[in-house]
Structure 1
Amino acid sequence: MTRATAGLADRLARAGRGVGMAGPGRRPAPSRSGGRPRRGVRRSVITLVLLALPSLILLLLINLYPLLYAGMQSVRAGNLISLGRFVGLDNYADVLQNPDFWSSARFTVIFTVTGVFGSWVIGLTLALLLRTRIPAGGVFKVLLLLPWVVPIVVSATAWNWLVATPQSPLPVLAEAIGFGNVLFLADPLLAQVTVCVFKVWVSFPFMMMMMSSALAGVDQGVYEAAKVDGATGWQAFRTITMPLISRSTYISWILMTIFCVNDFPTIFLLTGGGPVNATTSLVVLAYRTVFQNFQTGPGVAIAFLMTLVLVVISVLLYRQIRKVAIE
């Protein structure tokens, strides 16, 4: 056997034993810690989980238990004291067949759309105005925040003083102008208009803050470049400002939609849902059903239907936010 043939046979034999043809190579250096880092990381994770477990259990008890209990109430014919017998989805069917539910849903839509877009338009206009140099701008900003900062009880009391009785300032002014005896909270249509205007008045400072923070993040160099290209103010607003603040706009719409649909004190303190249920929203109807008529099943069913609609609207607007983020 020649030397070359013997070398080839030796390499093949080593390959058969799992050793590389070019030699055994370097063995990986054994870990000095003997696997302790992984054990240490695992112990740290377990420790963190154990420390966070009491808080997680408390959050579940505070949030999950009432939700599950409310779900049980919505499928039973009970009251505030007992759950009652199981009726399945009959409560939801009864609610959807109730004309009062659809009347309240119609006003809730009007109230929400007016509150969201009315407060957004006024808030955005004021946010744009505050970006310009105006005298006593700081004082002006503080005054604009007052409708949002003042407790809703105080605001509703003030508006009741303004419009509630024939001797109130606004009815007296309307009669002096020639509109006759205008009762803002006694006429169903005027009551709806008054409640919607009141909602816009207490909500526009929030929108103003949201839009001001969004406008603060817009680079002024973009406007300067657009001005050099000959763009008008409206063109710059439509093609630059609105696209750049669209993400914050959608977020503010989601939040304000939730605020409006769930807004109980604004309506209840001003009109109580009247006159003749003209300003009864779904949340007010749910309150009356549960705490005045003592029908927890239908009342909680109304609340769950409201939640379902809010989830759908939030998902749709969130998809718009994701599209803006991708673009």
Structure 2
Amino acid sequence: MATTGLNRLRLARAGVGVAGAGRTGVRRSPNRGAFTLLVLIAPSVLLLVLINAYPLVYGAIQSIHRGTLITTGPLVGLENYTDVLADPRFWKATVFTLVFTLVGVFGSWVIGLTLALLLRTKVPGGPVFKVLLMTPWVVPIVVSSTAWNWLVAAPDSPLPTLTRWLGFGDALFLADPTLAAITVCVFKVWVSFPFMMLMTSAALASVDEGVYEAASIDGAGSRQKFTHITLPLISRSTYISWILMTIFCVNDFPTIYLLTGGGPVDSTTSLIVLAYRTVFQDFQTGPGVAIAFIMTIALVAVSTVLYRQIRKVEIA
């Protein structure tokens, strides 16, 4: 019996069927499995490539032609790019886009991190509080921008009325260029901090409490725990949230357009708003698409730098 069992085991390892001594088992080739997998995913991959590649290629063609929304127009090469880079409106929009992005990313991150740390403690009604804090992100941007317009746009709106009562005079939040830029940036932080709070909360939930207990035993204070434990351990999630929020801010058209329309006097015109105006209001498709491609190159560069930071992170 023991000899028979050993023989069956030997035959099975050799690929021979245990039910019949003279019948060999068929081994499936790894290449055959890979080919089957490739055949199964090929239609989906091809569809995704066509959906994404066609607009990209067509946009690249438009960016080197002097055309309109109807016709491609004559080939002008890189003239559209040089014209855009020589346009003062482009650089003014670039400066505002940079400020808008920096404030949106780091402002929402600081507030989101603070609230995530606060909600990690034993706060009465914490789950309800967390749901309420998600409201700015959940509410449609049209509703939020309408509410903020009611709050600051007219002289008899609540905030201008409050500033008058405090003796600061009539604060025209959406009519003054500086105040309009500040208002748009604050609005972006307000609608974005729930996303950062969610990302940070998920990262904090993965941190082992034993690390903090060991640090407390070694005499570490709250600041040392935060700088040497919390921030390093959530750094990967932080970099990912920065990448995503940078993309969200640079490509954020409705937040700006619904609140100020890019005004007054182009003080809140970002690159995406300028590209929209150039294509759909000035009917200059080539320069407008060129602006969009310059934005894409900048986003790829920033994302690459931050992604390299993620790969450098080492968690003990």
TM-score, normalised with respect to structure 2: 0.90
Amino acid at match of 2:88: P
- Work out whether 1:191 is the aligned partner of 2:180: yes
- Selected match of 1:132 from 88, 97, 121: 121
5+ residue gaps in structure 2? 1-13, 17-21
Name the structure 2 match of 1:206. 195
- Selected match of 2:256 from 244, 254, 267: 267
Name the structure 2 match of 1:240. 229
CA distance in 1, matches of 2:228, 2:15: 63
8 Å CA contact 1:247–1:325 kept in 2: the answer is no
CA distance in 2, matches of 1:169, 1:176: 11
The structure with more radius of gyration: 1
8 Å CA contact 2:232–2:315 kept in 1: the answer is no
8 Å CA contact 1:119–1:201 kept in 2: the answer is yes
- Selected match of 2:211 from 222, 225, 228: 222
Amino acid at match of 2:101: T
Q: For each residue in 1:53-83, what CA deviation from the matched residue of structure 2 results, as whole angstroms up to 9, or x when unmatched?
A: 3222221221101100000000000110111
2:211 aligns to what SS in structure 1?
helix
* Equivalent residues in 2 for 1:85-124, closer than 5 Å: 85-124=74-113
- Work out whether 1:283 is the aligned partner of 2:272: yes
CA distance in 1, matches of 2:32, 2:103: 55
Change (3 A) 1:41 1:34: farther
Amino acid at match of 2:159: L
CA distance in 2, matches of 1:95, 1:326: 44
Name the structure 2 match of 1:79. 68
TM-score, normalised with respect to structure 1: 0.87
Change (3 A) 1:263 1:88: same
8 Å CA contact 1:107–1:280 kept in 2: the answer is yes
**CA positional deviation for 1:168:** 0.6
Change (3 A) 1:93 1:35: farther
5+ residue gaps in structure 1? 1-28
* Equivalent residues in 2 for 1:296-311, closer than 5 Å: 296-311=285-300
Name the structure 1 match of 2:7. none
- Selected match of 1:68 from 53, 57, 63: 57
CA distance in 2, matches of 1:81, 1:49: 39
Name the structure 2 match of 1:162. 151
May I ask how many residue pairs the two structures share in their alignment?
Answer: 298
**CA positional deviation for 1:42:** 4.5
Name the structure 2 match of 1:179. 168
**CA positional deviation for 1:212:** 0.5
RMSD of equivalent CA atoms: 1.9
